[in-house]
Amino acid sequence: MTRVVVAMSGGVDSSVAAALLREQGYDVVGIMLRLWSEPAATTDDGVELVAENKCCSLESVNDARRVAAALDIPFYVVNVEEPFRRTIVDFFYDEYTAGRTPNPCLRCNRHIRFTLLLERALALGADYLATGHYVRVDDDPATGLRRLRCGVDDAKDQSYVLHVLTQAQLRHALFPLGALTKPEVRAIAAARGLPVAAKAESQELCFVAANDYRGFVRRYAAASGRDAPAPGPILDATGTEVGRHEGLAYYTVGQRKGLGLTARAPLHVLQLDAARNALVVGPAEALDRDAFTVRETTFNAGIVPDAPFDALVKVRYKAPARPARVTPLPDGRAKVALAEAQRAITPGQAAVFYDAATGDQVLGGGIIE
């Protein structure tokens, strides 16, 4: 019997993934990763200052354990708090303080789920690692290579955060929910009596308490003995100082509110200039860009194209994919020329390339510079 390890979180998506694979005849083992998360904080008299993050709480562990018991599958919790903190949390903090806006989920999929957990799954004799992501994988009939494709539910498609997966990882990956919509997943959970069928979906970063990333940056600096983000000048496009900012980590490209500025027309953050510790602001139209470069490029086929190619490019998780010309560079970067300018293209986020003909196959991507 083919063994598959399912990454369980205590939520409905991973629970239904496990249920479907069990029904398909796989030998299913559930594993939940114990990740580092910001601890709750209270005053001496018990008043809550920072709420607990629910992602890796005892409640979530118990929910996953109850689902595993209902499915009659083994369940284990694996502690990866330290590598997660070192690889994901420190990176998140460092990127923000360097004036970039990172996507920690993308990095977690690359280094934690599909490296550490996949290695654990293979060590347990499993052939596959399955998750509750809304994507599809199949074999390209022309090349035999594994393809990563969008989920059929546009509202839930998660191909953006999985574009980093290699051929080796894709060959061991199963995504049972890729052909389903979220309402269908909930209906499956309810029909099978799973105890998490109606559980609310978390939209929070899994390690940030109360989904407060600005507060997290301040608290993490203090807890880890790092230098807190330093205040600095707010400059207009001419270089004139028009105000003061509290620290670059507390702002992101495109932001309009919370700048503390008075002007005839609304001002937006155009750039976080780490070299000068300056926040550059200007009118909304100055946010439009039609060309940029990406670093740390990856291509799912494992082969870097030797010539420019047309693609549909998505510059944020929820952004629509737009036509572009991608030119790979010899230093591992790539130039992206958009057919039409897009607003607030943000350094630190990913630009993901999709096949221009089908629109649903991931070709690769990189981190926006």
Catalogue the active-site residues.
108, 206
CA-nearest of 117, 210, 162, 152 to 314 is 162
Residue 282 vs residues 234, 240, 251, 259: alpha-carbon distances, Å: 10, 11, 14, 12
Burial 163-179 (b: 16+ CB within 10 A, else e): bbbeeebbebbbbbbbe
What's the CA dihedral at 161, 315, 152, 32 to 10 degrees?
10
CA-nearest of 201, 137, 145 to 174 is 137
What's the CA dihedral at 39, 42, 47, 53 to 10 degrees?
-10
Task: Give the largest Cα separation in the chain, rounded.
Answer: 69
CA-nearest of 280, 184, 274 to 239 is 280
Q: What number of CA atoms fall less than 13 Å from residue 33's CA on the CB side?
A: 29
Task: Check residue 179 and report its DSSP letter.
Answer: T
Distance separating alpha carbons of residues 212 and 37, to the nearest angstrom: 13
Q: Which two tokens stand for residue 247?
A: 């620290």
Residue 248, classed as helix, strand or coil, is helix
Residue 248 vs residues 31, 91, 274, 275: alpha-carbon distances, Å: 38, 16, 8, 11
Distance separating alpha carbons of residues 287 and 304, to the nearest angstrom: 30
Question: What DSSP line would sit under 15-83, residue for residue?
Answer: HHHHHHHHHTT-EEEEEEEE---PPPEE-TT--EEEPPPSTTSHHHHHHHHHHHHHHT--EEEEE-HHH
